[in-house]
A and B are shown apart, each in its own frame.
Chain A
Amino acid sequence: MVNFLVRRVLQALGVILAISLITFFILNIVPGDPVQIMLGDLATPETVAQVRAQMGLDKPVWLQYLNWAGNMLRGDFGSSYFQHRPVMELLLVSFGYTIRLASFSYLLAVTIGLAFGILAAVFHNKWVDKVLMVLAVGGISAPNFWVAIILQIVFGLTLKWFPISGAKDFSYYVLPAIALGTRYAASIARITRNSMLEVSKQDYMRTAEAKGLRDWLIVMRHAFRNALIPVITVAGTDLGNILTGSMLIESVFQISGIGKLMVDAIGQRDLPLVQGGVMYIAFICVVIYLIVDILYAVVDPRIRLGGGTRSE
């Protein structure tokens, strides 16, 4: 287990390094001089050169990268061109909103997804299964920003049940969380169902039945735990997708989280803010995937204990 952990953490560090390189180099081939953009067209070439030197943009690219990466390690993501405040500070302020929205929708996605997936598998080929799976394929096909707008029209403007913009209390998060969670609830439901059906064909399921166990024990203890392994992968990736998806939802519902911050930064071509935001979300995702892999090991003793005579 320790070996596995160490290897996995090292790998994650490698991935972060690679992502930082990619992000830095991609974002540094931005067409147009960022300093010119920042200072506006009226700035004299002398001022531009002066500011460039101030910001270290006249140095070689690799030195710029080392500077940037070194600063990032210290939590310094640079300053926003437009808001003139440290990127890190802006990110931290917005992070609370995003994390609230993301956790509500993730909770929703996982509970609904697992429940519907198990139901569909238990009632395989019955109408419950068919209805749920039609809903699920609809769910993965609808763009979440459009679902958000429809929810605003129906539950916000017409029925007036929930507010449609801002984030003052819990009621403000209901519609955004549904809009953001639907798609992932649907994808988790699909994978849960398929995985449960796959597991139900295994020999050990027959053993469990031959023991005379109750149906729900067979489903929950024997089928579900095995079925969970592929579900964890999808649910893990979905957490990353929810963080990204929140960009669109936050801007529809005017919630000032990281997403909206990034969308605004994109509109203003605020390079440090976009760069910092991307790195920040990417970093969170790498950590999430690391946790997913550790969860794997917790669920599946073949990974945890190693040395299996049989690997799937």
Chain B
Amino acid sequence: MSDIILDVKDLSMSFFTDQGELPAVNRVSFQVEKGRTLGIVGESGCGKSMTSLCVMRLFPSPPGRIVGGSILFHGQDLTKLSKKEMRAIRGKGIAMIFQEPMTSLNPVLTIGKQLTEAIMAHETVSKAEARARALHMIDLVGIPMPEKIYASCPHQLSGGMRQRIMIAMALSCKPDLLICDEPTTALDVTIQAQILDLINRLKNETGTSVMMITHDMGVINEMTDTVLVMYAGQVVEYAATGELFSRPSHPYTTGLIASIPSLDREEEELNVIPGAVPMLYELPEGCLFCPRCPYATDRCRKERPELSEIAPGHQVRCFRYSSDGKEERP
């Protein structure tokens, strides 16, 4: 058990707005083991980013508030920490990189300044040491001429370079957990592969765990050890990556996997899941996925299914695998 570094239990986060309480994250549980990668996948608006922001306690607040559950990081409940204690964790224990490398770096500060301030926020090092460390990190993420980059400003770098800098910044204090929120979505395809390789290489070199948030099943397949599939703020399926791809069980997961464009199959058009993620203020009464589900029954429209374990370590939220054992698989 000691190699579980992040243990999220029943985490719920809601936005309190004019339209009432909107559950953005709904009783989500998962674990991240040391040196392993957890993927969270789902369409935009499914709550995957909000889940990761909950771990960092960086969700917009107000109106957001954690309404239940716990986030145990090395056994310490992050939901109960003071602002100051949380600050000591951010960047040092858990680091995060974001989707938009173009806007995630401060345009008026040099790269060097932004790297060293991350180091100096957590460690008592001299400016010279911080600088040496920053240069080393720039080198580590594979950018040539660290000295030149150190002195330049974000607008002089390309998107891929900026994302590398974000990674260098995130890893500069040797965090135990790196959260990557759609790290490649905004980048060109060729750059995407490079960045993913880089994250993988650094993960292996530093032994940090990774939480990979993405909507891309291909990324999940390549990068992760376990996967959490989310839909409308809920976990709908949770399994080891191999298990998930060989035995996808929730109709949503099946849909996501089927929508990966494939070069082998000759298809007339892309497989897409019809419909869209419901808005949080118009959630259906029964199963949240049922309006888009090809197998929806009357029961699905009235009742919400719970997560049930269909194999060791494989959980699904669907009546077709509900714990009463009546498997209604077609």
Determine direct contact between A and B, CB below 8 Å: yes
A interface residues, Cβ below 8 angstroms from B: 202-204, 206-215, 217, 221-222, 225-226, 299-302, 305, 307-310, 312
**The 7 A-B residue pairs with the shortest CB-CB distance in the complex, in nearest-first order:** A212-B90, A212-B91, A308-B155, A301-B153, A203-B103, A211-B91, A204-B106
Q: Which residues of B contact A203 (CB under 8 A)?
A: 98, 100, 103-104
Kindly count the residue-residue contacts between A and B in the assembled complex, taking CB atoms under 8 Å apart. 91
Q: What are 30 of the A-B contact pairs (CB < 8 Å)?
A: A204-B103, A204-B104, A204-B105, A204-B106, A204-B107, A206-B98, A210-B56, A210-B58, A210-B98, A210-B170, A211-B90, A211-B118, A211-B121, A212-B87, A212-B91, A213-B117, A214-B121, A215-B83, A217-B121, A221-B109, A221-B117, A225-B106, A225-B109, A226-B106, A301-B107, A301-B110, A305-B156, A307-B156, A309-B102, A309-B158
Give the most central of A210, A309, A310: most B CB within 10 Å: A210
B166 touches A310 (CB 8 A): no
B107 touches A209 (CB 8 A): no
Q: Which residues of B contact A204 (CB under 8 A)?
A: 103-107
Q: What are the interface flags for B143-187 relative to A under an 8 Å C-beta threshold, 1 for contact and 0 otherwise?
A: 000000000010110100000001001100000000000000000
B155 touches A207 (CB 8 A): no
Q: Which residues of A contact B90 (CB under 8 A)?
A: 209-212
Bound form: Cα–Cα A209–B104 in Å: 11
Indicate whether A309 sits within 8 Å of B103 (C-beta atoms), given known contacts A210-B90, A212-B122.
no
B105 touches A207 (CB 8 A): yes
B87 touches A202 (CB 8 A): no
Q: A203-B103, A206-B104 are in contact. List 18 more A-B contacts (CB 8 A).
A: A204-B104, A206-B98, A207-B98, A208-B106, A210-B91, A211-B91, A211-B95, A211-B121, A212-B90, A214-B87, A225-B108, A225-B109, A226-B106, A300-B108, A301-B108, A307-B156, A309-B102, A312-B107
Q: Which residues of B contact A213 (CB under 8 A)?
A: 87, 91, 117-118, 121
Q: Which residues of A contact B166 (CB under 8 A)?
A: 207
Interface size, chain B (Cβ < 8 Å):
33
- Of the candidates B92, B98, B117, B153, the one whose C-beta lies within 8 Å of that of A217 is B117
Cβ of B137 within 8 Å of any chain A Cβ, yes or no, is no
Cβ of B96 within 8 Å of any chain A Cβ, yes or no, is yes
Bound form: Cα–Cα A309–B105 in Å: 14
Q: Which residues of A contact B122 (CB under 8 A)?
A: 212
Cβ of B258 within 8 Å of any chain A Cβ, yes or no, is no
Bound form: Cα–Cα A301–B90 in Å: 28
A305 touches B153 (CB 8 A): yes
A207 touches B104 (CB 8 A): yes
Q: What are the interface flags for B300-323 relative to A under an 8 Å C-beta threshold, 1 for contact and 0 otherwise?
A: 000000000000000000000000
Cβ of B88 within 8 Å of any chain A Cβ, yes or no, is yes
Bound form: Cα–Cα A248–B310 in Å: 83
Cβ of B89 within 8 Å of any chain A Cβ, yes or no, is yes
- Of the candidates A206, A211, A300, the one whose C-beta lies within 8 Å of that of B107 is A300
Main secondary structure of the interface of A (DSSP, over half): helix
A212 touches B102 (CB 8 A): no
Bound form: Cα–Cα A222–B105 in Å: 10
Q: Which residues of A contact B105 (CB under 8 A)?
A: 204, 207
Indicate whether A212 sits within 8 Å of B58 (C-beta atoms), given known contacts A301-B108, A301-B155.
no
Bound form: Cα–Cα A204–B169 in Å: 13
Bound form: Cα–Cα A301–B113 in Å: 13
Bound form: Cα–Cα A214–B118 in Å: 11
A211 touches B98 (CB 8 A): no
- Of the candidates A206, A212, A309, the one whose C-beta lies within 8 Å of that of B88 is A212
Q: Which residues of B contact A206 (CB under 8 A)?
A: 58, 98, 104
Q: A250 to chain B: closest CB distance in Å? A: 38
- List B residues 190-248 near A (Cβ within 8 Å): none
Q: A93 to chain B: closest CB distance in Å? A: 43
Bound form: Cα–Cα A222–B95 in Å: 18
Q: A212 to chain B: closest CB distance in Å? A: 4
Q: Which residues of A contact B92 (CB under 8 A)?
A: 212
Residue of B nearest to A300 (CB): B108
Bound form: Cα–Cα A310–B153 in Å: 12
Q: Which residues of A contact B104 (CB under 8 A)?
A: 203-204, 206-207
Bound form: Cα–Cα A212–B110 in Å: 18
- List B residues 56-115 near A (Cβ within 8 Å): 56, 58, 83, 87-92, 95-96, 98, 100, 102-110
Q: B116 to chain A: closest CB distance in Å? A: 11
B169 touches A211 (CB 8 A): yes
A310 touches B102 (CB 8 A): yes
Q: Which residues of A contact B96 (CB under 8 A)?
A: 210
Q: Which residues of B contact A207 (CB under 8 A)?
A: 98, 104-106, 166, 169
Residue of B nearest to A228 (CB): B108
Bound form: Cα–Cα A37–B156 in Å: 63
B155 touches A302 (CB 8 A): yes
- Of the candidates B95, B100, B109, B155, the one whose C-beta lies within 8 Å of that of A210 is B95
Q: B62 to chain A: closest CB distance in Å? A: 9
Q: Which residues of B contact A309 (CB under 8 A)?
A: 102, 155-156, 158
Q: B123 to chain A: closest CB distance in Å? A: 11
Q: Which residues of B contact A215 (CB under 8 A)?
A: 83
Bound form: Cα–Cα A300–B156 in Å: 13
B155 touches A212 (CB 8 A): no
Bound form: Cα–Cα A202–B83 in Å: 21
Q: Which residues of B contact A211 (CB under 8 A)?
A: 90-91, 95, 117-118, 121, 169
Q: A236 to chain B: closest CB distance in Å? A: 18
Bound form: Cα–Cα A256–B199 in Å: 70
- Of the candidates B89, B108, B169, the one whose C-beta lies within 8 Å of that of A226 is B108
A209 touches B58 (CB 8 A): yes
